[in-house]
Structure 1
Amino acid sequence: MPQGLQVWDAAGNLTLQVSDRLARILGIVQTGAVDGSIAHAGFLTGTPFFIQRATQTGGAMPAKIGIDGTTLSWSYSTGAPVKLNTMIVYGVF
């Protein structure tokens, strides 16, 4: 008989079990509307991911965001008339 954590909702549907992959947020960075990067050793502890969200309206968010090894970097298009400060939430699952 299998053992481990299993969670069901009120309708009896299995919603979570030990074999599921769960996200772990490592941090949040504000771009300051300029190209940049940060390093975080936590990226090596799982499969990295990021989510971006503009903190204002009326401009361009970073055109390129990527994670390479322990470094998260972002850059804006050179032709963007107004660059938006963008919040990037990053983590691993």
Structure 2
Amino acid sequence: MPVGLEIYNAAGVRTFSTNDRVGRVLGSVSTGTIDGSISHQELTNGQAFCNVIPLGSIPGPGDSPLAIAEVTIVGGTIRWAFPAWSAAVGAQRANSVLVFGVF
């Protein structure tokens, strides 16, 4: 008999099993509108992830394009940088929240 946690929805479909992975959120940081980085030692204790959540409104027709930070994770450091094209076309840099953690 298998041992472990399994979760089923109301229709009886298994939605979580011992073969699935659960992520753990370690924190969040606001990017502002400049390039930057943050280090967190626990990012090395699993497969790191980072979700970028832009804040504010989406530009409409005729508005400047919106530049969202590009994120890289190396070891225990998350770095974000706005794309090089954003300065050339006068794009509005989007302040974003980065939510990060490990699987």
| TM-score normalised by structure 1 residue count | 0.89
Q: Tell me what 1:91 maps to.
A: 101
Moved over 6 A (4+): none
**Aligned ranges 1:14-33 → 2 under 5 Å:** 14-33=14-33
Superposition RMSD in Å: 1.3
Q: Secondary structure at the match of 1:50?
A: strand
Q: Which residue of 2 aligns with 1:46?
A: 46
> Structure 1 unaligned runs (5+)?
none
Question: How many aligned positions are there?
Answer: 92
- Quick one: distance in 1 between partners of 2:18 and 2:85? 47
Q: TM-score, normalised to structure 2's length?
A: 0.81
Query: Which amino acid counterpart does residue 60 of structure 1 have in structure 2?
Result: A
* TM-superposed deviation, 1:87: 1.0
CA distance in 2, matches of 1:79, 1:5: 48
